[in-house]
Amino acid sequence: MNSTAVTDLNSDDQVAQWRADFPILKTQVNGHPLVYLDNGATTQKPQVVIDAVSHYYENTNSNIHRGVHQLSELATAAYENGREQVRRFIGAASVKEVVFTRGTTESINLVANSWGMANLKAGDEVLVTEMEHHSNIVPWQMVTERTGALLKVVPINDAGEISLDDVRGLINDRTRMVAISQLSNALGTINPVKEVIEMAHQAGAIVLVDGAQAIAHIPVDMADLNCDFYAFSGHKIFGPTGTGVLYGKEALLEAMPPWQGGGDMIRIVRFEKSTWNDLPYKFEAGTPNIAGGIGLGVALDYVSDVGLEKIAAHETELLNYASRKLQELPGLKLIGTAKNRASIASFVLDQLHAHDLGTILDSEGIAIRAGHHCAMPVMQHYGVAATARASFAFYNTFSEVDRLMDGLNKAVEMFG
């Protein structure tokens, strides 16, 4: 991690140092140097993470929490060290509050199924926003249908923002849960989650923050945020796929029933009745993604070494530059123009369907995403079927934004 030792580089040199940590960024795609602008879907992995995963499989592969042999002890220690690295990164009070999952989707489903089925009843309300990813809508739809609770929605304005007055108006003494993303994957909007959390708590409701996008772009601290649950995916913060975290306040997790049964989550199994393991293992049935948990811990330490403040500063400049350039293109409309935005530029072009645009850009070695971004209600709000989305990470450069603009101009010339 040479990059981290360097403090006085100008921005371009700094980014070049960061880029050197990511082997895939040297790849050619369709005869062009890769321009990877699909970081909202998944981020690339630094060499230290790749090495940590390889090292585990080459040297200590073994199942955890059960073996008496040395490899199992080493694997267990490395995996639990990964949990401690997560705890430190998010400022959780204890590793008991850090549940490993497959990703954000599984973390939210865990809360909806365990907490939701145990606590929701007819007449109760769950509040989400119009900009949520499907994984922060559908689990709540499923559990409210099963319990007779009501799902309510905070609307967005045409800039892609929620209003705190709307939130205040929609929270009442029947509200049990507010589930809200910190950073929208379809719009790039940063939500005022701290204010929402305070409002919800005053009304006696609890809050789940979907941090899938935020985690790699905005410094978070559970003690400061004071949310009840926080969900994120390892693969969106430079860690391995199939890893994720559910942070939950210890008292809440303690009171919740397990949601999956199997090995590791039990203390004693009897046919008459079984009892559950301590936190966080009560929620971790079966053999987990051991290499993934180890790799995630390394990824978070890597991000801490780079520094989220530095990351946010560079990405803000990049997004401002990209937004300005994009808006110069005739026929282009940005979808999501919130005052408080990060890392994501979503747009439509009059002349061209987003998918065609994605294909043309790909032929130039430029990876973006085209589609509904698992946020169909957002598409519905804007009356579009899909948007093209460039999503940035700290290793992206201004010249990559220029390459994107060249590609867009070429596409418009061909089809416009």
The residues that are catalytic are 374
Shortest CA distance to 326 belongs to which of 254, 257, 389?
389
Between residues 201 and 372, which has the closer beta carbon with respect to ligand 7TS?
Answer: 372
Between residues 136 and 147, which has the closer beta carbon with respect to ligand 7TS?
Answer: 136
Q: Which of residues 371-410 bind ligand 7TS (CB under 6 A)?
A: 373-374
Phi (first) and psi of residue 340, to 5 degrees: -105, 105
Pick the piece of the chain touching ligand 7TS (CB under 6 A) from 101-109, 198-206, 247-255, 268-276.
Answer: 101-109
Contacts with 361 (C-beta within 8 Å, 6 or more apart), sequence order: 367, 368, 404, 407, 408, 411
Pick the piece of the chain touching ligand 7TS (CB under 6 A) from 73-81, 128-136, 377-385, 398-406.
Answer: 128-136
Secondary structure of residue 137 in the 3-state scheme: coil
Q: Which of residues 154-213 bind ligand 7TS (CB under 6 A)?
A: 181, 185, 210, 212-213
* DSSP letter, residue 96: G
Residue from the set 16, 29, 34, 41 that interacts with ligand 7TS by CB under 6 A? 41
Alpha carbons 69 and 330: distance in angstroms, whole number = 66
Alpha carbons 343 and 317: distance in angstroms, whole number = 10
Contact between 223 and 91 under an 8 Å Cβ cutoff? The reply is yes
**What minimum distance in Å lies between the beta carbon of 193 and ligand 7TS?**
12
Between residues 41 and 153, which has the closer beta carbon with respect to ligand 7TS?
Answer: 41
Between residues 41 and 285, which has the closer beta carbon with respect to ligand 7TS?
Answer: 41
Contact between 207 and 201 under an 8 Å Cβ cutoff? The reply is yes
Site string for ligand 7TS, 355-374 (x = CB under 6 A): --------------x---xx
Tokens of 254: 């303690």
**What minimum distance in Å lies between the beta carbon of 218 and ligand 7TS?**
12
Residue from the set 3, 21, 25, 40 that interacts with ligand 7TS by CB under 6 A? 40
Between residues 44 and 233, which has the closer beta carbon with respect to ligand 7TS?
Answer: 233
Residue 254: HSE in the Cβ half-sphere, 13 Å Cα cutoff: 6
The packing angle between helices 308-328 and 398-415, to 10°, is 30
Q: Which of residues 245-304 bind ligand 7TS (CB under 6 A)?
A: none
Residue 310: how many CB atoms within 10 A of its CB?
A: 15
Q: Quick check: 76 binds ligand 7TS (CB under 6 A)? A: no
Q: Quick check: 139 binds ligand 7TS (CB under 6 A)? A: no
Amino acid at 352: L
Residue numbers at the binding site for ligand 7TS (CB under 6 A): 40-41, 103-105, 133, 135-136, 181, 185, 210, 212-213, 233, 369, 373-374
